[in-house]
Amino acid sequence: MTRDFEPLVHQIWKSVEATHDSITGRHIEMPPVTPTDPRANEARFRDDFPVLKYLEAALKLARGHSLAPLAEAIGSASQDFRWSQNASYNDSNCARSFLDGYAYAGLSGPDAPLTWAAPRTGIMLMGPNVLYPGHNHEAREIYMLLTPGAEWRLNNGDWFRPEAGDLIFHDSWQMHEMRTNSLPMLAVAAWIEDGDRASIQWDPVRKGATV
């Protein structure tokens, strides 16, 4: 029997709506659910991504911070996650350290168990000492951090370090990049509206960079 992820997605968005963007103070609400047909060609699915060895450590870390109840719910559901990467990310345009260092479990989206065009909601895992280079996309996006230690940069500005429990909003086509240090990162990552994962654009200055 396939797990029903809808209660978890609504729990995630309830947590999003209970806070504000840590930079602008903007309040983000869950958009209306928009069903769609399945679209699996944007994702590369595997159950043996190297970064998955850090999942239990990241969950344990998340359970010790402000979103512990949500981390507990994510941990309970994680055995049924389908982990993926963007199918357009490969060795020709990404550093191997990045490809080995991240995975995404979609919960709602055209390639997720809940086949919704919007919102596209999932869980991002990054290992220690990994850089997700500068990139942007048309869909507006939120990250809600479950663990501490990761750093962010917006529009090629200065790096800053959000706290566990912080919400970060990326506007349409806003350049953003993230990096971890000694700790893995676990976060909610969601697109507020539909978009093509293959349309993500790299910052030409930062593409292929390493930490």
Q: What is the pLDDT of residues 53-110, one digit of tens each?
A: 999 999 999 999 999 999 999 999 999 999 999 999 999 999 999 999 999 999 999 9
pLDDT above 90 coverage of the chain, percent = 91
Q: Does residue 165 come out as left (phi exceeding 0), alpha (psi in the -120 to 50 range) or beta?
A: left
Q: Which domains does the chain have, with CATH numbers?
A: 6-24+48-192 (2.60.120.10)
| pLDDT surpasses 80 at 51 | yes
Please state, as a whole number, how many other Cβ atoms lie within 10 Å of the Cβ of residue 79: 7
- Cα separation of 152 and 183, whole Å? 14
CA-to-CA separations, 54 to 23, 58, 77, 189, 194, in angstroms, rounded: 28, 6, 16, 18, 29
pLDDT, one tens digit per residue, over 133-192 is 999 999 999 999 999 999 999 998 999 999 999 999 999 999 999 999 999 999 999 999
pLDDT, one tens digit per residue, over 21-46 is 999 999 999 999 999 999 889 999 99
| pLDDT surpasses 70 at 211 | no
Which tokens in the block code for residue 124?
A: 């991002």
| Ordered DSSP codes for 16-37 | HHTS-BTTT-----PPPPEE--
Cβ distance 122 to 103 under 8 Å? no
Smallest Cα–Cα separation from 175: which of 133, 143, 211, 209? Answer: 133
